[in-house]
A = this chain, B = another copy of it.
């Protein structure tokens, strides 16, 4: 059996006493797994964030190339965990091994994307050249730089034990920006978190980075999360999780003696808009795509398509028929945790009991603990407009189909929609042109607007925006996936009239970095 220490990592030291009560569980059986973990305290949090602050004093002066080397060493070390990592993560999450292998690849890919960003030509620096002889006043020489904010708190997410946990997107982008991290491991997969954090630390040692550049606190108590957001040394937070927790922590971040930015990605219902002609022509294909996307990860994705909006008619009838028969054939699947399974059951009970909402179909019976059945419900736009809670996310394998009477009603529905991570419009180019008002209204409601593709499978690339208007995210001006995520953890600094030798290299006259000059 794999041996784990079950401790926190603070300034390069594994520390803390594992607690015989704090295990992770195999969600497929509810059996406790054989490792015990330390349950962090406020003192641990403060030690870890002070260690990150001390590391920042050195790490903030590391060159982009040095930071790239660290990220690459981390990617190699996570890669090298191989099947050990996917085995442990599979035990703790019940996610299929193939999915976890893909997620491991994505995690290492993210680390390497930020490394390549740091090694490649940097984004243009803005330079205002001085004009000492300008009248009536000389123009000073001003050059705009980006500085790291300082230690970042990273919250591991339940549904991405690798790509949004210890070595996930928030850690990668913070380290790329020049910020040390304090990771709060998600209590549903502490073993996975320890394995990954140990790999990160081996990379730190390999490239002689400051030891406190990655710290880990394991723990179960919500008070631990609050303490981390409030730790004085912490200068920003990266969070992926539920609306309730994210909203509470976001308020704490804003209410600190020194308020700090809280970058929370809180989920979404990701509406699918089916246009009339395309729906009439492709109803079965559309239903198949919907089914496949909503069943990925048993619906436990923030981009899971939980809402379909379509005009009443024969096309929709055919779509519903295909969707219903697909749903009925779905085997039950295991959720990540008992709490997530229970929340799903409660939400389904509420949906079923809502007047005007009809159950279209349900999947095969559950066989084991923590399993859920796929579900589809149908309602009318008139009902949904009166009961806005129908437009909120249910985390799991469920879709609500809303039938609309006309375009005006559809626009009213968009007005009633909370901010979304994504929306998709399914239609031909000509149809979309005829529905320009729908496209415009949706653009102002979402972070990513998609044509004829499903929202699951968030590409990690340069142009990705994973975020959106509140409440999809706490901070609509930033992304938690893709290269632009680095901007969450930097701030601008203008250097005025500074001698060349004291400027950062990318701002000097002789730099070969791209510079926008005015």
Contacts and interface: CB of A to CB of B under 8 A. Distances in A.
Contact of A449 (B447, B491, B495): B495
A60 B444 CA distance: 9
Nearest to A498: B451
A452 to B, nearest CB: 6
B144 A484 contact: yes
Nearest to A518: B462
10 contacts: A126-B463, A128-B461, A140-B459, A142-B448, A446-B493, A448-B496, A449-B493, A453-B496, A465-B494, A477-B491
Interface string A486-510: 0100111111111101100000000
Contacts of A449: 493-496, 498
Contact of A258 (B127, B470, B490): B470
Interface in A242-265: 250-251, 254-255, 258-261
A436 B499 CA distance: 12
A443 interface: yes
Q: In the assembly, how many copies of this chain are there?
A: 2
A254 B259 contact: yes
Contacts of A440: 60-61
B462 A128 contact: yes
Contacts of A128: 459, 461-464
Interface in A135-156: 137, 139-140, 142-144, 147, 149-150
B451 A497 contact: yes
A242 B440 CA distance: 39
A516 interface: yes
A144 B465 contact: yes
Contacts of A464: 128, 142, 144, 494
A500 to B, nearest CB: 8
A348 interface: no
Interface string A411-453: 0000000000000000001001100100110011011111111
B498 A261 contact: no
Contacts of A516: 462
B451 A499 contact: yes
Contacts of A471: 258
B124 A493 contact: no
Contacts of A447: 491-494
Nearest to A483: B126
B432 A502 contact: yes
A432 B495 CA distance: 14
A474 interface: yes
A465 B494 CA distance: 5
Nearest to A490: B477
A250 B259 CA distance: 10
A292 to B, nearest CB: 13
A495 B453 CA distance: 11
A250 B254 CA distance: 9
A126 B254 contact: no
Contacts of A495: 448-449
Interface in A157-210: none
A422 to B, nearest CB: 8
A150 to B, nearest CB: 8
B461 A496 contact: no
